[in-house]
Structure 1
């Protein structure tokens, strides 16, 4: 999912800055290319925190969380190279999909990672086929802005529950202090130092705050455990099939496949808007090949991610802001950024360092990420009309998708006899949000169609 907009970067919808380098152009010096590429890696921080939702759902150890983050970073680089080379060839970063992760986390918590990654494998193949054959029109009709925006807000609120648990922890005052401090650091860097060093501090505010507050504060308070970091190696290729594979561990559970596929569908539709925004920021006309080849490449990237135990990939909007702010839309720059991200993923010590930071620091940053996801949803909703049916769609979807699972989880005896697919659907916030939003929108459209048909018949009778 176009996961987390960067508030410090320029809005791509604002008046365009003159491009210094267009998509097929490259900076003359490699040092300049490397600098711009590194800026992209500073902004695209979602892989550091979004996997924590899955890790928390299944109770992963420190080493397990580190392996998951490294796998996500490594496959993020591979998927970006794939997208920018043989996909839509736009300067857009690929990374962990918040929408699909919002589905995966509760499913993994109930039936395990083997079933989830089997579902990801199937869903990624289906996405690749849909993109290759150009079967996207029906999806766009099912997911207008009112549906997509509402679902994105529900994702933010769902993941926000995980972020809050990490930030608050046991309720000790130090947890609140760490979470508050890292949030304030990010806000100060993004709002007070927007122009310093060409905006570099503002764009890298989240990563800088994680490392500064987490490393310094965690070390001084004794909450930073350095032993796993010392034991981790400097270089290692992520393991193939860490949670099993086709024919040797993956579970083919239709319920998991169905739930994950629903998340993929929502992510596909959201990516269509990302391609349009990237083209607008890059002064490139949006063409059909951008859409079809882009969705195909995202599916292929998610397929590769499933092999290494990484989360499914989608297009990110953060680097669109970097393009608008720097005037550098070079595809080569993004390809170098992809190589840097892949190198991050090849360093277990880096991933272990991130997960060894105080959880309240990661939770505070995760809350900010969820806030940015919610803002993204609100911006999408702004594209829809202010009709009463849209208000009902938004209100009912948000309330039912968040409150129904809470109530049903408090009634384990009543739901124990329900079929697995029903239990998963009614206890997953994101799946419920997609079902409610799509269903209500279709219902109101049907009412409008019948109303228009009735008026047309009345006119014909009056004229006859």
Structure 2
């Protein structure tokens, strides 16, 4: 396992801490803003309500990120964990919103957050469902599921589009990717640790010179905006609560996998009690976000890539990221400046970060005991996860609740790995066939903790 530049409880120098915190913020900001924008656009909210939704999402994500990193009593995993609004809730939010409006979305989110809050008390039992073979699959699927996002960024948006895959977009993305690689490989100290943000800054300057930066969002943004708790009100439709509860169950599986990946990246033994604190913060944080008029929050997988790439595992760095996100919610003009970063710049850096998660997953897979049983678990789980990742239209003709549950490659891969791990027998084969001899589950779990 690679040596960390800064351990979980280390305090880097102030300037480096600020740069590293900004690095995490840049990796997460697009995802945080995207969810309220997508939901608001579908519900055709007026511009002032869209702005309020985005500001609430930034503020809520920042506060919950700070608590997750620093910890308050039994709440918070105390690892470098960025929280943000999750696309896992978009389908449920839109279906509820079309019938019951934003008050129905927020009320359903608040009520259904009990699923995650109660579920956190059973994390020691849930942890047993994630031995080394299963965890390796989940970590790998996190990276594989995020790479298409980086590719779309690099190409300049969503396909098909008039500018999708334009040579200029791809050239900028490759330039940023090369810059990040050079800084990681040859940079020293702060230049290596802050490679992502420095590479993006260089790419941003190039785009600025080419006239690719649009400042219209900055001109329209308010300088300061107070939070507006219960701005939309709350209603509690039963159908909405059920839909959100399913989304929370799916998110709990994804969050568990992300925490396991984070444990590997930070060299932390991911025990059941530690998972419980993190999931409890997710649940309580989503309840807080609903009161704040924000969509639910969950742990961002992409920021695990930042930790893996830079070797900076300090939770105090990411706690400052929480402060920066909260400030962006209170000062919308700050968030608007960050939004001006062209997508190809994000794509070049994102491809590097997400590929690092795949590399971490492959390293974990290489340590899994090689036999027929684990081979089936890995092959089928990754294959099914990739199926819905590269061909999301696969589920288009199935009922909406099926798409809600199985629309994420991370979730499908994780659920399939857990299921196969439970149902496939662990009986040893004939004596002498050492290649197929099975290792008890406890040994695999112990191996993960040692790693």
Residue 177 of structure 2 corresponds to residue 191 of structure 1: no
Note the C-alpha offset of 1:324: 7.3
Deviations 1:12-63 (A, max 9, x none): 4xxx98x8xx95x9x8xxxx87446425413424313444774796696999
Q: Distance in 2 between matches of 1:354 and 1:384?
A: 41
> What SS is found at the alignment partner of 2:82?
strand
Q: Output one character per residue of 1:58-111: Cα deviation in whole Å (capped at 9) or x when no partner.
A: 6969999987776555334312443424145775333136xx946346666877
Contact 2:106 2:295 in 1 (8 A): no
| 1:252 Cα offset (Å) | 0.9
Distance 1:173 1:432, change over 3 A: same
Deviates more, 1:232-241 or 1:50-59: 50-59
Mapped contact 1:119–1:258 kept (Cα < 8 A): no
Q: What does 1:106-121 align with in structure 2 at a 5 Å threshold?
A: 121=110
The whole-number CA distance in structure 2 between the counterparts of 1:405 and 1:274 is 22
The aligned residue for residue 261 of structure 1 is 249
**Cα separation, partners in 2 of 1:451 and 1:263, compared to 1, 3 Å:** farther
Structure 1 counterpart of 2:175: 181
Q: Is 1:77 matched with 2:62? A: yes
1:238-317 aligned within 5 A: 239-240=228-229, 246-247=234-235, 252=240, 254-268=242-256, 270-271=258-259, 274=262, 290=274, 292-306=276-290, 307-309=292-294, 312-314=297-299
Provide the residue aligned with 2:24 in structure 1. Answer: 44
Q: Distance in 2 between matches of 1:245 and 1:160?
A: 37
CA contact (8 A) 2:153 2:346 kept: yes
2:207 maps to 1:218: yes
- Given candidates 208, 223, 238, the residue that maps to 2:198 is 208
Query: 165, 172, 187: which one pairs with 1:171?
Result: 165
Contact between 1:233 and 1:349, CA under 8 Å: does it hold in 2?
Answer: yes
SS in 1 for 2:128: helix
| Alpha-carbon distance in structure 2 between the residues aligned to 1:190 and 1:380 | 22
Unaligned runs of 5+ in 1: 1-6, 453-464
1:432 corresponds to 2:412: yes
Distance 1:110 1:372 in 2: 35
2:9 counterpart of 1:11 = no
Say yes or no: does 1:351 pair with 2:328.
no
What whole-Å deviation, never above 9, does each CA across 1:324-369 have from its counterpart, x for those lacking one? 769xx796x7655643443244331222222222222223333233
Cα distance change, pair 366–238 in 1 and its aligned pair in 2 (3 A): farther
Aligned residues of 2:141 and 2:409 also touching (Cα < 8 A): yes
For this pair of structures, how many residues does the alignment match?
409
Q: Alpha carbon RMSD of aligned pairs, Å?
A: 4.4
8 A Cα contact 1:124 1:302, kept in partner:
yes
Whether contact under 8 Å (1:72, 1:345) holds in the other structure is yes
How much has 1:123 moved relative to structure 2? 5.4
Answer whether contact 2:62 2:324 (CA < 8 A) is retained: yes
Instruction: From 330, 340, 354, give the equivalent of 1:370.
Output: 354
Q: Find the counterpart in structure 1 of residue 143 from structure 2.
A: 156
Distance in structure 2 (CA, Å) of the matches to 1:42 and 1:75: 17
Contact kept? 1:139, 1:265, Cα under 8 Å: no
